Structure 1
Amino acid sequence: MRMTMRTTLASVLVALMASAAHADVTLSVLLDTNSETTALFEALSKSYQQKRPDVSFDVESRPGGSEGDNLVKTRLATGEMADIFQYNSGSLFQALKPERTLADLSGLGNAGNVTDIFRKVVTAPDGTLRGIPFGPAMGGGIFYNRKIYADLGLQVPKTWAEFMANNAKIKAAGKVAIAQTYGDTWTSQLFVLADFYNVSTALPDFATKYTANQVKYATTPVALRGFEHIEEVAKAGLFNPDFGAARFGDGMRMVATGQAAHFPMLTFGIGNVSQNNPEALPDLGFFAQPGDDATKNGLTIWMPSALYAPAKSENAAEAKKFLDWAASREACEQMAAAVPSGPYLIKDCSLPKSIPQAVSDMLPYFETAGRTAPALEFLSPIKGPALEQITVEVGSGIRSARDAAALYDQDVQKQAKQLGLPNW
């Protein structure tokens, strides 16, 4: 009888401990408003809940651009950040002071799955890993409508002059040559940011000198070219009439369905078309932003955003368990199946056999040595917060390219001083 009671008591204790270990928990999550972000997180959370039915997710969205940046910083500073949040890697990650505000993920069992190229852009100054890659690496360039190109007999351009010649033919045919979507101000930056492959090819040490305050946009002709590109296409009257109010989703719809021939954008936009206009995916192509030399044609690439946990959270242990699983090959391939819009940065994570045409257009850049270069924000901690407003002014005819570059140099100086960088 005593043995039976002891056995029963032990069983109860084990059951209670198991129940305590797996008590129901709701993790709050903060994501941006992009449809691809939503699709990726849904794929992750549904798969995770099959393993952990005791965990649920309360998802909230935040705006993009500088408004979203300020919200993230404010919530971290006030202790009101969600248990898990998605945000940029690279320079904007460093601006969060990650060694103080974000949880250290170095000890996670799957931390070793994070590729070296991504690890560099989510490592705090103290050498610790603070983020898990969320989504594919992206190219910054120009989406184009393949039907319009075929109908007008156009070839994918490898120089800026060829691109402008294509635009002239498209405009002459009565079509919108370039969709612009200044209703989402962050989309106005692409002609500057996606030109960095061309900058770094001409000046391989530009990022180092830029961080050391030894070169400027306004006084470096090859760097100034991005601002000049915006001014040139605006003066040529190549935009959609409603470019000042149109939003990101409008731009992706326009280029996919043939309402516009081009849309300068990051390749994560493939996910938007996949969700909203899937029938148009075969007509959506992509090419790198052309430079001045066809023999040096290549792609500026963006690291994906990351999933983070704040350093202080009531559900820190459960949040880390989820992030550990998000770093697994299984989780990565769940995301790749949901949004196959580029290469993923978890080791041995493969894309599905069937991928959109625009992804096929992008992959050769990744597969050929020397045809990709990271965007400047992954090589330097400096990115001025006002760039998107400045580029809107250039595209709207309010400010010249040279004045805009000089103003951006001033904007960058403020941030460099805030970061305490030497020589500023």
Structure 2
Amino acid sequence: MRKHTSSRHHLRVIALAAGAALALAGCSAGSLGSSGDGDGVSLTFLVGSNQSRVNAAQSVAEAFMAANAGITVDVETRPSGSEGDNIVKTRLATGDMADVFVYNSGSLFQAIGPEQNLTPLTDQPWVGSVEENSQRVVSAGDQVYGAPFGPQLTGAILYNKKIYADLGLEVPRTWDAFMQNNAAIKAAGIDPVIQTYGDTYTSQLFVLGDFHNVASAEPDFAERYTAGQAKFATSPAALKGWQHLQELHDLGYYNEDFPTAKMEEGMRKLGEAEGAHYPMLTNGIPALAQASPEGAKEIGIFPIPGDDPAKNGLTVWSPDGVYIPKTTEGEKLDAAKKLVAFIASPAGCDAQSAGAMPTGPYAVDGCTLPADVLPATTDFQSYIDAGTYSPALEFLSPIKGPALEQITVEVGSGIRPAADGAALYDDDVRKQALQLGLDGWQ
């Protein structure tokens, strides 16, 4: 394990006069208990290194400090993907975790031992304002351990609307229609599907984002999967995501530099119409806006298509959680709880939006989206409004194998056949289930 060397973004804000500070934070004096409470307390706040996430965290820290004289918040960053996961787990295990940190919700949250490592927040007043599923995915036993940070996400296909208009294509509602579109796009000399395996986590979307289709075909899949009865390699519905990953590679539909390209480059290609489709989580939309500001206005989103057009819908991820480790104590703990309460408030949502344009709806009552969100976010909202979506598997089951992104890279690169990749992932899932001590596994 490499020694952790996170970069620091030191945020020092001189406290404003009380009235000006409260106006900046958009809240009343009673909502945060600012005044002089917590004088001289300094908090570290650890977030992933995605620039939009860092910007949102910095904006939150600035607004919070302006409303809480005497509390300083230093934003630290860590890498994304498996390296970042290892850093979080190592720092928790060694008692070296930041005072407050952002990490996954759902199954990966369960893997960091919340009952052993985190401070329960069930008794905090803001808990009741959090959307029910977003409470559930940061809970263990009968305790809530986190608040949502950032908007809800979807794993879907970002697409270039200009390419679609120029080629006379319609948004596909089935996989066959999607493949017909890809053939037409390839014939026009444009890369049909962008992949960016230089960031290995981006390789997972054709599998993870397909879960709405799996749940539509096998409504009890998540329950049977958790009980060790359903497998990716033996479920016809769950195997299709792996087959799609291989099929698109074998047909030469990926960009030539897919083994090394990174997410930001994929977003640039999409915005500049060098590629038509990019399966990705919507938390990448801010990178799209930065890489191709004008092109971002031409990008929409549609679900990964399945077999039945009547069941077409999105797979949705709950937001990450913001947590307090048990190593945060005394005055720091009181200040940390204030920071988490601020994040789980409309003022906190507004601060996040000021730092980074949101890419989906927030999961806190009273939070609203800015009027100038990008078209892809508006498309996302339309599926939420219509109720045509399902939670991602990792929010219905505590199991997600840690090697998924490495295996999907192999399948998407033509190194391993889809069926073998699915079977290998089933074995990875089994190891995780045994570590969690789940019933039905051996």
Fold conserved (TM > 0.5)? yes
C-alpha distance in 1, partners of 2:165/2:351? 35
Which amino acid counterpart does residue 382 of structure 1 have in structure 2? I
Determine the structure 2 residue equivalent to 1:119. Answer: 135
* 1:316 and 2:333 aligned: yes
- Name stretches of at least 5 consecutive residues in structure 2 with no aligned partner: 1-33
User: For the Cα contact (< 8 Å) 1:139–1:302, is it kept in 2?
Assistant: yes
Q: 1:257 to 1:19 in 2, by over 3 A?
A: closer
* 1:346 and 2:361 aligned: no
* 1:204 and 2:219 aligned: yes
Which amino acid counterpart does residue 122 of structure 1 have in structure 2? V
Show the 5 A alignment for 1:270-281. Answer: 270-281=285-296
User: For the Cα contact (< 8 Å) 1:89–1:305, is it kept in 2?
Assistant: yes
* Percent identical residues: 51
Determine the structure 2 residue equivalent to 1:381. Answer: 398
User: For the Cα contact (< 8 Å) 2:154–2:317, is it kept in 1?
Assistant: yes
C-alpha distance in 2, partners of 1:251/1:110? 38
Q: 1:82 aligns with which of 98, 102, 114?
A: 98
SS in 2 for 1:388: helix
Determine the structure 2 residue equivalent to 1:365. Answer: 383
Kindly provide the CA deviation profile for residues 175-202 of structure 1, in whole angstroms up to 9, marking residues without a partner as x: 1111111011111000000000000001
Q: 2:435 aligns with which of 392, 398, 418?
A: 418
C-alpha distance in 2, partners of 1:138/1:58? 26
User: For the Cα contact (< 8 Å) 1:35–1:275, is it kept in 2?
Assistant: no
Kindly provide the CA deviation profile for residues 276-313 of structure 1, in whole angstroms up to 9, marking residues without a partner as x: 43222211111110001111100000011111110112
Pairwise CA distance, 1:21: 4.2
Which amino acid counterpart does residue 393 of structure 1 have in structure 2? E
Determine the structure 2 residue equivalent to 1:356. Answer: 374
* 1:155 and 2:173 aligned: no
C-alpha distance in 2, partners of 1:245/1:298? 31
Number of aligned residues: 405
Determine the structure 1 residue equivalent to 2:83. Answer: 67
Q: When the two structures are superposed, what TM-score results if normalisation uses the length of structure 1?
A: 0.93
Q: 1:24 aligns with which of 15, 24, 40?
A: 40
* 1:238 and 2:253 aligned: yes
User: For the Cα contact (< 8 Å) 2:174–2:309, is it kept in 1?
Assistant: yes
Q: Which of structures 1 and 2 has the bigger CA Rg?
A: 1
Moved over 6 A (4+): none
Pairwise CA distance, 1:353: 2.3
Kindly provide the CA deviation profile for residues 306-345 of structure 1, in whole angstroms up to 9, marking residues without a partner as x: 1111011252221111111111122123324542311100
Q: 1:214 aligns with which of 229, 232, 239?
A: 229
C-alpha distance in 2, partners of 1:347/1:22? 27
C-alpha distance in 2, partners of 1:190/1:153? 26
Pairwise CA distance, 1:19: 10
Pairwise CA distance, 1:99: 1.2
- Name stretches of at least 5 consecutive residues in structure 1 with no aligned partner: 1-17
Determine the structure 1 residue equivalent to 2:12. Answer: none
C-alpha distance in 2, partners of 1:32/1:339? 17
Determine the structure 1 residue equivalent to 2:122. Answer: 106
Bigger Cα displacement from structure 2, 396-405 vs 39-48: 39-48
RMSD, aligned CA: 1.5
Q: 1:276 to 1:175 in 2, by over 3 A?
A: closer
Q: 1:135 aligns with which of 150, 153, 170?
A: 150
Determine the structure 2 residue equivalent to 1:7. Answer: none
C-alpha distance in 2, partners of 1:422/1:398? 34
Bigger Cα displacement from structure 2, 324-333 vs 177-186: 324-333
C-alpha distance in 2, partners of 1:213/1:181? 32
C-alpha distance in 1, partners of 2:308/2:229? 26
Show the 5 A alignment for 1:171-190. Answer: 171-190=186-205
User: For the Cα contact (< 8 Å) 1:131–1:308, is it kept in 2?
Assistant: yes
C-alpha distance in 2, partners of 1:268/1:211? 27
* 1:43 and 2:59 aligned: yes
Q: When the two structures are superposed, what TM-score results if normalisation uses the length of structure 2?
A: 0.89
SS in 1 for 2:143: coil
C-alpha distance in 1, partners of 2:167/2:35? 66
User: For the Cα contact (< 8 Å) 1:336–1:344, is it kept in 2?
Assistant: no
Q: 1:313 to 1:293 in 2, by over 3 A?
A: same
C-alpha distance in 2, partners of 1:191/1:35? 24
SS in 2 for 1:399: coil
Which amino acid counterpart does residue 73 of structure 1 have in structure 2? K
User: For the Cα contact (< 8 Å) 2:35–2:68, is it kept in 1?
Assistant: no
User: For the Cα contact (< 8 Å) 1:138–1:342, is it kept in 2?
Assistant: yes
SS in 2 for 1:278: coil
C-alpha distance in 2, partners of 1:336/1:293? 36
Q: 1:298 aligns with which of 301, 313, 316?
A: 313
User: For the Cα contact (< 8 Å) 1:39–1:339, is it kept in 2?
Assistant: no
C-alpha distance in 2, partners of 1:332/1:287? 26
Kindly provide the CA deviation profile for residues 343-393 of structure 1, in whole angstroms up to 9, marking residues without a partner as x: 100012111222210011111211113x11000000000100011000000
User: For the Cα contact (< 8 Å) 2:35–2:69, is it kept in 1?
Assistant: no
